[in-house]
Structure 1
Amino acid sequence: MNGFERRKSAIKEKMMNTVLEMLRTCEPRNIRIADIAAEADVSQVTIYNYFGNKEALIRESIKRYMDMNYARFEQFLDGNPTLKEIVRYTIQLDKETFETYSPAMFQQMLTSDPELASYIEVLYREQAAPMLVRMIEEGKKKGEIAESMPTATIMAYIGMLKMQSHTLLELAHQSGRSGEFMEEIINLFFYGIRGVEPSES
């Protein structure tokens, strides 16, 4: 990457970081190009030249945020964590997002932006889902998951929990004991309502 390309990349990154910061407190529809330009210290023309319109800039900013979290997760996996550590780390990533951005904002974006919804669908189908299958199969080899439990059933169960993740995080927040609550959810995921680990049975 030459000097021009580095400067161009730095300007794009600055604008996307600005949008991500603004989304902490402002709904996408209320963000104006003029406000982004002022916060990022660039001209409105620059924003249009780089992204075409506000919607594309917000979309690319959210995609970048998701890509960064996915990269963090992949880096975490390089440390060969246990399945329980992986679940705990995944919940922590969701918790960070929940505390930074409104779940309603993401839902609004997915509903109003088919391109973003398609991007997330492809990301899950081509990267996240295959990785999850590998983690489950590895968990079976390590004895962390029962060999007799079909991978498809585990995938369905995890998907069901994922769909309710914001509700669980909200309940954890309301409980006043967020850390303990989520640890209990993790234990429930692994050991069921009996709360008995395999070594104790």
Structure 2
Amino acid sequence: MNKFEIRTQQKKDAIIHAALKLFKEKGFVHVSIKDIAEESGVSSVSLYNYFGSKEGVVKECANVLMQNTIHMAKELLKQNIEFKDKLSQVLEICADQDYQLLGTPGAVEDQVLASLYSENTNKIRMELIRELIELGKKEGAIHSSVSLETLLELLSVVGTLQASWAKSGNYTNKMAELNQLLLFGFIGRQ
């Protein structure tokens, strides 16, 4: 990269960092482009040039969080541990990343932010989940008679639950209970 490209990337990173901070504190609706520009130390004009709109900034924030999630999850999948432990830890990583942005007081009531975030993370998340399910079937940890489609639909419902729990303030406990149910079922085998 030349100096111009390096400086441009530094500005984009500053914008994303500032936007994540402000969205967590105030939610999407109560944060303006001007607020993000001031917090990042980058001009509003540059912000529009890089991202086009506030929605463009949210898309990039979602992308950054999901790339972090994918990196952590892929490293975990390489580890030589039981599949149930991999699954539990991947679910926890995904939930933690979502909670970072959506579980704070300013963000929790913001339907626009939640909607934009979900739209921009679902495709990436589904690829990760698909890879995890295929690994589970290959290792014999997920029964081969259960279709990928059914598992993806179940996890989609789980995503809806996560969003509602973030609003209730009991997210961490509820996710721990849900992970227990997903891994061991209603009967509770371990």
Report the TM-score when normalising by structure 2: 0.75
Q: Secondary structure at the match of 1:188?
A: helix
Task: Specify the alignment match of 2:152 in structure 1.
Answer: 155
1:108 aligns with 2:101: no
Task: Specify the alignment match of 2:179 in structure 1.
Answer: 186
Task: Specify the alignment match of 1:91 in structure 2.
Answer: 92
State the distance in 1 between where 2:155 and 2:52 align: 38
Task: Specify the alignment match of 2:170 in structure 1.
Answer: 173
Segments of structure 2 that go 5 or more residues without pairing to the other structure are none
Number of residues of Structure 1 aligned to a counterpart in Structure 2: 185
Name the larger-Rg structure. 1
Q: Is the 8 A contact 2:108 2:166 kept in 1?
A: no
Q: Is the 8 A contact 2:88 2:179 kept in 1?
A: yes
Q: Which residue type is aligned with residue 182 of structure 2?
A: F
Write the deviation string for residues 93-147 of structure 1: whole angstroms up to 9, x where unpaired.
3135325433443x41365x6xx766445x24xxx43443342233233231223
Task: Specify the alignment match of 1:29 in structure 2.
Answer: 29
- Give the superposition deviation at 1:4: 1.5
Report the TM-score when normalising by structure 1: 0.72
State the distance in 2 between where 1:58 and 1:129 align: 19
- RMSD (Å) for aligned C-alpha atoms: 3.1
Identity within the alignment, %? 23
Task: Specify the alignment match of 1:129 in structure 2.
Answer: 126
Write the deviation string for residues 167-194 of structure 1: whole angstroms up to 9, x where unpaired.
45667827xx83xx64443232233222
Equivalent residue runs for 1:4-153 within 5 Å: 4-89=4-89, 90-98=91-99, 100-101=101-102, 102-105=107-110, 107-109=111-113, 111=115, 119-120=120-121, 123-124=123-124, 128-153=125-150
Q: Which moved more, 1:155-164 or 1:2-11?
A: 155-164
- Give the superposition deviation at 1:14: 0.6
Could you say which structure has the greater relative contact order, defined with CA pairs below 8 angstroms and 6 or more residues apart? 2
1:164 aligns with 2:161: yes
Q: Which residue type is aligned with residue 70 of structure 2?
A: Y
